[in-house]
Amino acid sequence: MQLASHPFKELRLDRMSRTFGAFNALHDVSLSIRKGEFIALLGPSGCGKSTALNCIAGLLATTDGGIYIDEKRIDQLKPEDRGFGMVFQNYALFPHMTVNQNVGFGLRMRNVPKAEIAQKVENALALVRLQGQGHKLPGQLSGGQQQRVAIARAIVIEPPLVLMDEPLSNLDAKLRLEMRTEIRRIHNQLGATTIYVTHDQDEALSLADRVVVLREGSIRQVGVPHELYEKPAHIDVAEFMGFRNHMPGKVTGRTGDRVTLSVAGSTIAGMASEDVKPGDDAILMARGDDIAAAKAGPQTLAATVETIEYRGREFVGTARTADGLELIFHSPTLTEIGSRISLSVNADRALVFAA
């Protein structure tokens, strides 16, 4: 008996919304997910990603909109009638049941015969590499092992959809990387459609087929990981993707996608991400590793070093221009605090957004 996944074509969220009183936790979220896809819902805390997941699971009622599997509307079903699998942030294992009973819980609720449950639980435990641990109680397992049990419990019922709510956030850094690889491996092996909620962009980018960036309850951008990383379509998404330098200025010229701005008295070029014309107020966004100490000249800003930290291969520092603009830069050598430096901005990788 091999674990399989559920036959369907598409899961569709249609203008799914949730309000708490006057607060719009989730607003008109529409998304269609193909069978077998791994979707990451990415955003800072409070962006509505967990609300979205709980609405899909049925743990939270939606206030508007629908959820469909193919043409079947499911948002009015109780959570127990949706048949999804879910992995919780703190694992939410049943503390009084053994690993076998935890994993077999969903099958037992579906009145699957005992022998079949035993077989499927064994397969699922093998898949998460927990053979021979079935008789233990969750309290006797390490955090990583508990997480594996939680994953086994979610996939053993062969659900149309697996929901994962920040499953790695309770693990330490090393285990987190290891489990990330495990989740990807299990997904590749089973092909179960997965929605994965996280606030960690690395996790989202490395795991997902497509990433959905949520902000203030709405979808900001949907795309494959490299698209999001290289070409964030929105200033919020850019911030989340590591564009930490935020340089407001006025557009002075534009040729094709190349835009020049006057920023803090210098002229800096970048790539247009939104439609900006000469004379507009705009914001130039750049990652820290696209700003480096250089000789004074074009495309540089003069600044005074304020902090400098060693980060292994290189130094990361902050510097402030005479106008008070703070910049984060990378440097291969130690620069002294208080020294005056010129910082050059990589024009091909800096993005210009309308202010």
Partner 1 sequence: MTDPDRHKNSLRQRLALHGIDGVTLMLLPALLFVLGVFVYPFLYGLVLSFQPLEGGGALANYKKFFSDPFLYNTIAATLRLAVPVSIIGLIFAIPIALRVRLLQRQRLLTTILVLPVTLGTVLVAEGLLNYLGPQGWFSRTLMFIGMVDSPLKLTNNYWGVFVSLVITVFPFTFLLTLSYITGIDPALEQAAATHGASSWQRFRHVMLPLLVPGLAVAFCLTFVQAFAVFPSAVLLGAPSGPTRVISIAAAQAAFEQYDDSMASSIAMIMAAVQLLVVLGVLAIRNMFYRGSTAGGKG
Partner 2 sequence: MIRDTSLGAKLWITAVWAVVGFFVINVLAMIATVILSSVGTRWLGTWLPEAFTTRWYLAAWQEFQLSHVLLVTFQIVFMVVILSGLLGVTAAYAIARRNFPGKRLVMFIFLLPLLVPPITFGIPLATVLYKFGVGGTFWGVVLANLVPTVPFVILVMIPFIEQIDPKVEAAARVFGAGTFRLFIHVLLPMLLPGILASLLLVLVRTVAMFELTFLTAGPTSQTLVVALYYSVFAAGVRAVQSIDAMAVIYMVTTLVWLLVALRFVNPTQIVARPKQISH
Q: 331 and 317 in contact (C-beta within 8 Å)?
A: yes
Which one of partner 1, partner 2, none interacts with residue 233, CB within 5 to 8 A by kind?
Answer: none
157's contact among partner 2, partner 1, none, with CB below 5 to 8 A by partner kind, is partner 2
* 99 φ/ψ angles, rounded to the nearest 5 degrees: -55, -45
Binds 185: which of partner 1, partner 2, none (CB < 5-8 Å by kind): none
Binder of residue 227, out of partner 1, partner 2, none (CB less than 5 to 8 A by kind) = none
Shortest CB 162 distance to partner 2, Å: 11
Six token digits for residue 283 = 């914001």
Q: Which one, 16 or 263, has the nearer CB to partner 2?
A: 16
Instruction: Give least dist CB 306 to partner 2, A.
Output: 43
Report, in Å, the least distance between residue 186 CB and partner 2: 18
Identify which of residues 4 and 61 has a Cβ nearer to partner 1 in the complex.
61
CB–CB of 161/194 below 8 Å? yes
Task: Look up residue 185 and give its two tokens.
Answer: 């491996």
Handedness of CA 170, 175, 180, 183 (dihedral sign): negative
- Residue (27 or 187) nearer to partner 1, CB: 27
With CB cut-offs between 5 and 8 Å by kind, which of partner 2, partner 1, none does residue 61 bind? partner 1
DSSP, collapsed to helix, strand or coil, labels residue 258 as: strand
Instruction: Pick the closer one to partner 2 by CB: 4 or 94.
Output: 94
Binding site for partner 1 (CB under 8 A): 14-15, 61-66, 73, 75-76
- 3-state SS assignment for residue 129: coil
Please state the separation of Cα 155 from the chain's center in Å: 21
Strands 194-198 and 210-215: unpaired
Report, in Å, the least distance between residue 58 CB and partner 2.
Answer: 8
Residue whose C-alpha is closest to residue 278's, from 267, 291, 290 = 267
Which residues bind to partner 2, rule: CB under 8 A? 57-59, 78-80, 82-86, 88-90, 92-96, 105-106, 108-110, 153, 157, 163
In the bound state with partner 2, the residue whose beta carbon lies nearer, of 78 and 295, is 78
The residue ranges of DSSP E strands in 208-310, in sequence order, are: 210-215, 218-223, 245-255, 258-263, 266-272, 281-286, 291-294, 300-310
| List of residues 6+ apart from 244 with CB closer than 8 A | 287, 288, 328
Whichever of 28 and 200 has its CB closer to partner 1, that residue is 28
Cβ at position 107, least distance to partner 1 in Å: 24
CB of 66 to partner 1, least distance (A): 5
84, interface contact from partner 2, partner 1, none, CB < 5-8 Å by kind: partner 2
In whole angstroms, the minimum distance from the beta carbon of 130 to partner 2 comes to: 18
- Of 66 and 242, nearer to partner 1 (C-beta) is 66
Strand order in the sheet with 23-34: 23-34, 10-20, 64-69, 72-73
Residue carrying structure tokens 């911030």: 239
State the nearest-atom distance from the C-beta of 279 to partner 1, in Å.
43
For residue 44, what are its two tokens? Answer: 């800072």
The option from partner 1, partner 2, none interacting with 76 (CB < 5 to 8 A, set by class) reads partner 1
DSSP code of residue 195: E
- The entry of partner 1, partner 2, none near residue 174 (CB within 5 to 8 angstroms by kind) is none
What the block records as the tokens of 121 is 């639980």
Beta strand residue intervals within 71-172, DSSP E = 72-73, 85-87, 162-165
* For partner 2, the closer CB: 50 or 201: 50
